[in-house]
Structure 1
């Protein structure tokens, strides 16, 4: 039966609710207009990924804060639940990576305020609205902006808002923050930690002593990466090393590292990336330096490369650095990366949540790590503070009730579509490659970290796959003919397609397009997040789009 899509342009996938994080925006050209900030598309947006910018309830509370602070009409503000946002805003604004000059902020242009609303202390960064493009990155990259649910709760108490006696400009060192408060933890937080712990202990490759107290919750996946990044940089100075494709905001965070960011792009077997990493480590050691840590996605988004974690583990031991593995794409149920990783990061917003209506992230410390007792655990015990709103924690806990049963369907549907698309791949045809773990030359590495099957669940390869085409024209024909929801996000209950690389890495004014293309982030690629629809319905939808693509190529 054909997949029925009646969602209006700019709205979220159904069921449409106040806190949804998806947007349906069909048309490849509209994705590029969105990337370029075209008002003809932006003005139609009724839903959006909340970390892209203040949205809905969050925007309303920021307007109210601006009014309470009597900000000039040419100034705006962003609000956070942690005073650390002040330091990050100053660092971000001062970075040499902020360009062009018309959006780069001088430190004197930033001001900082503190307000109390409904028992919650907010830390407010004030900036000239004309420099919005230069400051919005602290919301996007840090991932610590107030959530829509928290904003909704705060709006109930907006009349009680009070300004805390505190004022400092961006030139003041240090910023003396009044009594710091953080969001309260609830039973939902405890239950979430226990659920993640249980998933880590379920059918392990190698038993570990990990406990619920080794699980740290964050408001988004990016805030989890930022929290870990700051902790690791404090533990061991040095450059940050990353292998293969990493999320673009993760890239933005890493390039700000004080001792530099070293990236190894090609990461498949034939690239010899492990040997290249070791050569770099040897050079660092000969210069009397260590790296701070090494970061890798397993598998990577959107290329689905599963780098050799066993070899990286050996390097981590030999050269004494923490190995951080982001297993969001593989996901808790399918892969067990604790045997290799010192720390595991996950965006809980994705398939763990599964319903595209709440955000969250987690950091798990591995008690078997040589850094655990000496540095990791003590650092987190003294520096970690809860910034995850109870309403979001409750929703995430509820959503994840059926995580395993949903994941079984996601695995099944994605593999069916990957097999179908792979059958269309030919050297001379428009479909040139199927990017999904079992179809890559790193398949053996992925399989070596798959959890053993149990009667209750058989691990698979996750919900994400990507398709390479011979040309942008072929990719566009396929994309526009594909009858699924169109927009960013992955791990949702319904299938989403997006020209991810063109959207994220295709603008030469903001990134080195040729560099990223060289290791596989081609703009002639479509990323698919497979959902829970009927398998045969999805197969038919993809067959129709593949047929349209092949027919267009034949005529051309």
Structure 2
């Protein structure tokens, strides 16, 4: 089982500590989160990293700065993307939401092939400095982001090129001049003089069976897609074993309906994306391609923030039912009966951060009767706990979370239900539009991390349930949001027989001061993200809705809500940790 690292304690430290591509960052005090949201350098200047859709990774920032110095003009800014299609979509987005659109341009660059790595196309969208905020919104909402590992390799190529240019400019020593003189082979100089450390880390990853060599990236993606489809007969530790599975063996797994209980489902129905929000963004694009794109969508339940933004800003707009309760389904049905046609309905099972689950069976019946598409985000439930694909046209997930667990790689997935009416139309769209943009190194890390996904999920389920059972009866806790206590009938309707209630919960104490005291005295990792192998807490509403706190309150999302993602720590240790933090409340 995974060893749980000790959390860092200093503001801005990477979580996990000393992890160059970490996807969370330490905010040890409540006030640190407010400083971050306000852009206060007390916090922002000390950040080693952040959640990559919100805080552009330092490697990407450095690469962008160097490219802009070569191809930009004074008072221009830029943002980098991994494909031309994405760059063009960013430019189109800026045409809608930025006034100086005539000055937005795309610069195309290509790095490599480099050593064992494939060619790395980079598309730089360049614009006046005041356009960065709008371009960053596209980066955040769409999730079609550049991999920090790919940016790291591009920096190595730049360093190598610059070194070679410097060598060419130097006069050769007298004894080496002439037709037989040979230039010494140079190894690339890594940023910050870290060459030896990076080489050692790569050696350990490959030599001791943690990560496979880069040559296995394509096979890793196949293994990931089969694992996500739930059609692997075993949880093998080695990708070579996956490749031994014959097509007839895989077909027999599909006939048995696999882990997801969907007959005919195969890895060909699974698509990998740079992150979970990218999968949601492209699910919306699929729906618009399959049906009449002039229809509005429905956002059902209070979702993670960017899902709603995607539905509002791309396409015809959406109807928002923020409570996501049975009476809201009544309203949706009434709207449909009145003649309104909708494109799609997006929901989460359970929702983030209130852990509500909708009545999927009833929603499916409406979708079949009134011809709209259902997209379910299963990130919090995860397919080892819940079977939501049976009611959906598409299921999306952030692989960054519990599927990976190690908090060191981004990824997302979309799974199509092959038995739904609009499957062929969605498939046809994907056949022409899908781009495989999961960087090869990210695929290797994701494959390695997810090998023990099911075993970790069971431990996390048990830890979270024990902790919530303790908290729900604690005198200093006002409310616990957890699928066992919230909309349980709807969650249980899709819960697998061997599944649990997941590893995420939210809690509220008496007031904001009590929440601050609790948070400040909670000894665990504290920052954005969830689904990590270690317990991770955050004042969710402060981080996700700081500029719209009153609006969030309307849907029961309190400004002093604390969201907790439970990890693999010893259960007694977790109970003691939370008990000590609650004892620190003196208001």
TM-score category of the 2 structures, normalised to the smaller one: 0.7 to 0.9
Matches within 5 A, 1:439-478: 439-440=485-486, 442-453=487-498, 459-478=499-518
Is 1:307 paired with 2:358?
Answer: yes
- 1:85 corresponds in structure 2 to 86
Equivalent residue number for residue 392 of structure 1: 442
User: Does structure 2 conserve the Cα–Cα contact (< 8 Å) formed by 1:205 and 1:451?
Assistant: no
Which stretch shifts more, 352-361 or 515-524?
515-524
Deviations 1:32-82 (A, max 9, x none): 11111112110010121122132122122212221331x123212211112
- Of the three residues 239, 243, 246, the one matched with 2:296 is 239
Taking a change above 3 Å as real, the CA distance of residues 545 and 3 of structure 1, as seen in their structure-2 partners, is farther
SS in 2 for 1:262: strand
**Residue number among 188, 196, 201 corresponding to 2:220 in the alignment:** 188
8 A Cα contact 2:9 2:28, kept in partner: no
Distance (whole Å) between structure 2 residues aligned to residue 203 and residue 536 of structure 1: 35
Check if 1:501 corresponds to 2:495.
no
| 2:423 maps to which of 346, 358, 372 | 372
TM-aligned CA distance change 1:160 to 1:279, over 3 Å: farther
Q: Which runs of at least 4 in structure 1 moved beyond 3 Å after TM superposition?
A: 2-7, 159-162, 199-207
1:203–1:433 CA distance, 2 compared to 1 (3 A): farther
Within 5 A, what are the aligned runs for 1:115-126? 115-118=109-112, 119-126=119-126
TM-score in terms of structure 2 length:
0.81
Using the TM superposition, give the Cα deviation of residue 140 of structure 1 relative to its aligned residue in structure 2, in angstroms.
Answer: 1.3
Preserved CA contact (<8 Å) 1:353 1:396 = yes
Which of 4, 17, 20 does residue 18 from structure 1 map onto? 20
Deviation at 1:399, TM superposition (A): 0.3
Q: SS where residue 144 of structure 1 aligns?
A: coil
* Deviation (angstroms), 1:84: 1.9
CA deviation vs aligned residue, 1:167-208 (integer Å, no higher than 9, x gap): xxxxxxxxxxxxxxxxx9712111111111226978657442
Aligned to 1:150: 150
What is the Cα deviation at residue 267 of structure 1? 1.9
The equivalent residue for 2:310 is 253
Is the counterpart of residue 537 in structure 1 residue 538 in structure 2?
no
Distance 1:386 1:3 in 2: 33
Distance (whole Å) between structure 1 residues aligned to residue 62 and residue 148 of structure 2: 10
**Aligned mates of 2:274, 2:5 — CA distance in 1:** 33
> How many matched pairs?
500
CA contact (8 A) 1:435 1:467 kept: yes
Aligned partners of 2:260, 2:219: CA distance in 1, in Å? 30
Quick one: structure 1 residues 387 and 203, their matched pair in 2 at CA, closer, same or farther if it must change by over 3 Å? closer
**Which segment drifts farther, 302-311 or 130-139?**
130-139
Q: Give the alignment partner of residue 100 of structure 2, picking from 101, 106, 119.
A: 106
SS in 1 for 2:143: coil
- CA-based RMSD of the aligned residues comes to 2.2
How many Å separate the matches in 1 of 2:276 and 2:16?
23
Provide the secondary structure at the position in 2 that maps to 1:293.
strand
Q: What residue number does 2:481 align with?
A: 435
Q: Is the 8 A contact 1:306 1:437 kept in 2?
A: yes
What is the rounded CA distance, in whole Å, between the counterparts of 1:358 and 1:3 in structure 2?
17
Q: Describe the superposition over 1:74-121 as per-residue Cα deviations: whole angstroms up to 9, x where unpaired.
A: 2122111121223322332233xx5xxxxx442123121111111222
**Are positions 1:298 and 2:349 aligned together?**
yes
